[in-house]
Amino acid sequence: MAKKATGPAQDAQSTPQSKEHNFKAETRQLLDILIHSLYTEREIFLRELISNASDALTRLDFELLTNRDVLDPDAELSIRILPDEAEGTLTILDTGIGMTAQELERNLGTIAQSGAREFLAAAQQNGQRLSDLIGQFGVGFYSAFMVAEWIRVTSRSYQKDAQAAAWFCTGADTFTIEPADKAERGTAVVIKLKEDAREFLQEHRLREILRKHSDFVPFPISIGESTEQANRQTAIWRQQPREVEQKDYHDFYQQLTLDFEEPLTYAHMAVDAPVQMYAILYIPTKPERSIFSPRKEEGLKLYARKILIQEYNKDLLPEYLNFVQGVVDSEDIPLNVSREAVQSSRLMAQLKKLVTGKVLDMIKKLAAEDAEKYAAFWKNYARYIKQGVAIEPEEPEALYPLLRFHTTDQPETWSSLDDYIARMKPDQKGIYYIIGDDDRSVLYSPHLDVVRHYGYPVLMMTDPLDAFMLVRLTRYKEIPVSNVATASLALPEGGEDKPSEDGETPAPDHAGLIERFKNILGERISDVRITTRLVDSPARLVDPEGAMNQEMQRVYRMLNREYEVPKKVLELNPRHILLTRLQALQVDDPLNELVVEQIYEDALLIEGLHPDPASMIARIQKLIEAALV
């Protein structure tokens, strides 16, 4: 191990070989900002230093591929974090590629990082809160000045003949470079912590930060004298899927989310073209994050070359898929670019397309392979998929096969649209659905009379979101998707009506019946007419020609609290016993009004349009009274 650098060389300024250098103006500026920063998440300095150590190790690793003639070729590639209570210092030690005196001067004397430069540019813009910015940019090495009184970097290059050297800076205008004593290859960054930054001496705190920011750094990291590895090290998403076991996927998921349950399903992607990327994507068993979850927001973890650049990236998936957890890692993301620049890039659009496609495939696969799990998925995630159909501007068709419905012929089980099509009758012209408030009441709907007569199955749309979805879902596999409540619903040729009994023009006695309804209901309805489409029901309400359709009415009803019952057409079934008896009543019988009102309000109720069902009770009691005479 390297001799622990415990402090600034006492006489750094006075050593003959010690040379003082001035920082470039912009570095000076950056340092000023960082030193005086009130940024609350100062812990990210550790992420930056570990990422530098990891880079140095990666570069050495690469060098070793072709050149074993380096200093300490057999030294373990690792990172050590050494808190020293007594000295109040924190040392980050790596066995990476190291730096010569010239490299120290160049790399730590000017802004090496374009991220830092962008940070400065953003910092100079009006209205930008600095503290919000620091975490977003990889401000790099200098971020350590948020917690440091002084920093000493002692390094020995991998080149055998190079001398060790030390860089020292108190955050003032200058830094010094001098020869140093370091036998082993690599770099030691010693930070004398500010008085208010002593939390970074606590091992448990360090462990927590490591786990949060650097857990999947691909080299072992240890803390203090302990030989126990503090990070998981392997970035399992960067392995080939066939090399990773299910248990690893589950462990990684649990470590990512602290979800006690296993994920419902997951997918692993390793893609080379059109962009390079790795990803592991999970669907949690439940969409709600627990309050203990370390995931405080939606979004995927975004890595560029194993280094976490964004904890919650929301740009890789459409909003309706925001329940997906996981990581995305791409070699093509430039490490030192601001979040804003990454967001808007073409690369992100490509990644989003790939990731979204994979998530949909994963759900389809679940549906195809495990009906039980898919039912569990549908129970928890139906609203997300329906939301996607309703609002996703691109290809909601891709979501249609994921939809499940209860149907009038199989009300207890879930049917896909394809299941439905398989059960369609040969003469059936469309995929039919009925809208209602719940499955049970929908089954009583008069709109089902006619399709039931033909034996057609009907999808039951009883989820409030269905109306939103149906505004988009008007066709599936070239088959129109139609509401059975539509007055003009297409039915098989010839079978539509029985013209001998009821033509377009109602028989005169029906005209009398219609008059009675019109007189009593007046303005509340737009028309009354006879229909042949009812069998078991006395009447139903349909929309007049050209009215807003039922789906849109529901959408409006859900969006505005103030809601007026739209004027409907009341269709009567003259063969129904209630109507034949009604017709037999004297026109001046007071029962007329009670019956007509009740038939109308029953129809309202069954449509889910009744504003106040309890108000019917008084009338129902009068009807009972009349029946008991």
Please say whether the beta carbons of 442 and 424 come within 8 A: no
Count of positions (residues) in the chain? 629
Q: Binding to ligand ADP by residue 336, rule CB under 6 A?
A: yes
Residues 389-448 that bind ligand ADP (CB under 6 A): none
The smaller minimum CB distance to ligand ADP, of residues 48 and 607, is found at 48
Residue whose CB is nearest to ligand ADP in the complex, by number: 140
Residue 52: CB atoms within 10 Å: 22
Q: Binding to ligand ADP by residue 48, rule CB under 6 A?
A: yes
Scanning 52-60, 162-170, 450-458, 606-614 for contacts with ligand ADP by CB under 6 A, the matching segment is 52-60
CB of residue 152 to Mg ion, shortest distance in Å: 18
Scanning 50-58, 264-272, 277-285, 615-623 for contacts with ligand ADP by CB under 6 A, the matching segment is 50-58
CB of residue 61 to ligand ADP, shortest distance in Å: 13
The smaller minimum CB distance to ligand ADP, of residues 113 and 356, is found at 113
The smaller minimum CB distance to ligand ADP, of residues 183 and 511, is found at 183
The smaller minimum CB distance to ligand ADP, of residues 34 and 473, is found at 34
CB of residue 377 to Mg ion, shortest distance in Å: 41
Distance CA 286, CA 279 (A): 21
* x/- track of binding to ligand ADP for residues 168-197 (CB under 6 A): -------------------x----------
Please say whether the beta carbons of 217 and 306 come within 8 A: yes
Question: What is the DSSP secondary-structure string of 378-394?
Answer: HHHHHHHHHHHHHH--S
Measured CA distances, 420 to 65, 404, 440, 561 (Å): 60, 10, 20, 35
CB of residue 140 to Mg ion, shortest distance in Å: 4
Strand intervals (E) in 53-182: 79-84, 89-94, 148-156, 165-169, 174-179
The smaller minimum CB distance to Mg ion, of residues 52 and 100, is found at 52
Amino acid 266 reads Y
299 binds, among ligand ADP, Mg ion, none (CB under 5 to 8 A by kind): none
The 3-class SS string of 286-324 reads CCCCCCCCCCCCCCEEEEECCEEEEEEECCCCCHHHCCC
The smaller minimum CB distance to ligand ADP, of residues 138 and 436, is found at 138
| Among residues 46, 53, 283, 513, the one that binds ligand ADP under rule CB under 6 A | 53
Order across the sheet with 525-530: list the strands: 525-530, 568-572, 539-542
Distance CA 189, CA 145 (A): 12
553 binds, among ligand ADP, Mg ion, none (CB under 5 to 8 A by kind): none
108 binds, among ligand ADP, Mg ion, none (CB under 5 to 8 A by kind): ligand ADP
Helices (H), ranges, 215-265: 246-257
Question: What is the DSSP secondary-structure string of 534-561?
Answer: -SS-SEEEEPPTTPPPHHHHHHHHHH-S
Q: Binding to ligand ADP by residue 489, rule CB under 6 A?
A: no
94 binds, among ligand ADP, Mg ion, none (CB under 5 to 8 A by kind): ligand ADP
Rg of the chain in Å (alpha carbons): 36
Half-sphere exposure of 482 (CA within 13 A, CB side): 18
How many residues contact ligand ADP, by CB under 6 A?
Answer: 18
Please say whether the beta carbons of 359 and 329 come within 8 A: no
Q: Binding to ligand ADP by residue 200, rule CB under 6 A?
A: no
CB of residue 299 to ligand ADP, shortest distance in Å: 24
The smaller minimum CB distance to Mg ion, of residues 104 and 465, is found at 104
Tokens of 154: 């002692």
The smaller minimum CB distance to Mg ion, of residues 283 and 333, is found at 333
112 binds, among Mg ion, ligand ADP, none (CB under 5 to 8 A by kind): ligand ADP
The smaller minimum CB distance to ligand ADP, of residues 59 and 475, is found at 59
Scanning 48-56, 296-304, 351-359, 575-583 for contacts with ligand ADP by CB under 6 A, the matching segment is 48-56
CB of residue 46 to Mg ion, shortest distance in Å: 12
Distance CA 260, CA 404 (A): 28
Residues 542-561 that bind ligand ADP (CB under 6 A): none
Scanning 51-59, 343-351, 552-560, 605-613 for contacts with ligand ADP by CB under 6 A, the matching segment is 51-59
Distance from the first to the final alpha carbon of the chain: 105
Please say whether the beta carbons of 90 and 83 come within 8 A: yes
Distance CA 408, CA 440 (A): 10
| Among residues 52, 95, 338, 553, the one that binds ligand ADP under rule CB under 6 A | 52
Residue 316: CB atoms within 10 Å: 26
CB of residue 552 to ligand ADP, shortest distance in Å: 54
The smaller minimum CB distance to Mg ion, of residues 140 and 171, is found at 140
CB of residue 341 to ligand ADP, shortest distance in Å: 15
Distance CA 612, CA 609 (A): 9
Residue located via tokens 């009770």: 617
Q: Binding to ligand ADP by residue 484, rule CB under 6 A?
A: no
Q: CA 214: distance to chain centroid?
A: 23
Q: Exposed/middle/buried for 347, CB within 10 Å: 0-12, 13-18, 19+? A: middle
Residues found near Mg ion in the complex (CB under 5 A): 52, 140
Residue located via tokens 């020609």: 545
Please say whether the beta carbons of 574 and 580 come within 8 A: yes
Residue 253: CB atoms within 10 Å: 20
Residues 82-121 that bind ligand ADP (CB under 6 A): 94, 96-97, 99, 107-108, 112-113
96 binds, among ligand ADP, Mg ion, none (CB under 5 to 8 A by kind): ligand ADP
Site residues, ligand ADP (CB under 6 A): 48, 52-53, 55-56, 94, 96-97, 99, 107-108, 112-113, 138, 140-141, 187, 336
